Amino acid sequence: MEIAILLFDKLTMLDAIGPYEVLSRIPDARVKMVAAEAGIIRNDRGSLGIVADYSLDEVVRPDVVVVPGGLGQSDLMNDEKVLSWIRKVHETSRWTTSVCTGSLLLASAGLLKGLKATSHWLAYDALRSLGAEPVSERVVIEGRIITAAGVSAGIDMALALVARECGDDTAGAIQLQIEYDPQPPFDAGAPHKAPPELVELLRSKSRFRH
């Protein structure tokens, strides 16, 4: 199984690395880090780099596509080279997926029109404006498109994909292998759980505020 993870400058690194740690453990999986141009890609803080070994032109028929989010997603919303690649690989992929605001790129490519999808909770209005139906769920599966909520939800998305491709036992074994057993110290991981003042603080700083 060939898995392509799209990289771009100013991405949120866990959006890509979380799914990588799960999907790379599928038996016979071949993961390819791909970007508009091969080379070093830096995260949204500029402090961490990752190598894209392949350019878009070199990865044309992956079985699985993962589109992460991050600040750099905004720069790609009208980048026809990237959007055309997403549309093209989706034609033959078994699964096209996104994490966090990566769903805005899927929507910009025209893949989410009329479909339920999720994203980071601050991006729901932006997702709706692009023709999708945003839902407040951790992972949303619509046919062969899977969207995940913010950042850490990419791990859940990848495990759900593995379960459908390889069965629950394999997915459970991978979850155990990476010891994914979240027990966060605060119950503030979603806007309906977090204190209202924290929600409003993040809204006030959001690049998606209207």
Q: Which residues are catalytic?
A: 100
SS3 content of the chain, % helix, strand, coil (to 5): 40, 20, 40
User: Identity (one letter) of the amino acid at 125?
Assistant: D
- Separation CA 31–CA 205 (nearest Å): 35
Helix (H, G, I), strand (E, B) or coil at 204: helix
- Separation CA 136–CA 4 (nearest Å): 26
Measured from the Cβ of residue 137, the count of other Cβ atoms closer than 10 Å reads: 14
- Separation CA 125–CA 205 (nearest Å): 15
